[in-house]
Structure 1
Amino acid sequence: TTVRMAADVLHASREQFPAGLARSTELLVDELDRFESLLGDLLEISRLDAGVEELTAEQVDIRVLARRAHDSVRAISTTANSPVVLDLPDEELTAELDSRRVERILRNLLANAIDHGEGQPVELTMRG
């Protein structure tokens, strides 16, 4: 889209900007990525509601999903000065689920906690 192209041009030229503005271009790209992901989620929900798409369940170590979700909110966590702490068991924690969708749920929960947590730490704890 036009917005994505403009953001990418600004981001590619960020070395030419003052530090604060350069950081703003990084945040713009991060937030645009997040918006595109949210839009994709909404389209997928619409397809599920229409019966066009189905869930795909598989055995997954959900600690891996938690780490991926944590990685994907790292930028907004840093910006909000709201650290995310993972408290995961050492042993594998498996479940049969749709990993892509559960990872998305975890990512959204973490992002919402960061957005509404007023700078407080966010903790994700998993137990077997």
Structure 2
Amino acid sequence: MASMLRKITAEDRREAADALDDLKATLAYAGAQLPSPGIDWNCASATGIVLIDLGAAPTSVVRQIVDVLRLGVRAQREQANQQAWYPAIGSTILLTTDGGTPLPAKVVGANGKLISVRLESWIPS
């Protein structure tokens, strides 16, 4: 039974090892380190569920990790709140030449990657 379970959980065990490596590398980059993380291989061979043991950590380390997580969550929320701005079709926008000359233009199309405009008037200098 144990060898069959080992075969079934092989990918889960590899994924757990990769996840733990990623966690340790990310925390190290942020200047934090868990003192004794590991993978509970015994649980995996008995239940088929692979558990990552984060180990015991002093309060100072837990606070460092919380700070890292808060920064990540904050950055993720800020990124989600930043929506791209696209002018409405039919609206007039003001473009400028390299020399600073204003060029009024009418928006004739807009999608997630491209804004099409038609110059209202332009007199080359």
Please indicate, yes or no, whether the TM-score normalized by the shorter chain is above 0.5.
no
With the shorter chain as reference, the TM-score category is under 0.3
The structure with the largest alpha-carbon Rg is 2
Structure number with higher helix proportion: 1
TM-score by length of 1: 0.24
TM-score by length of 2: 0.24
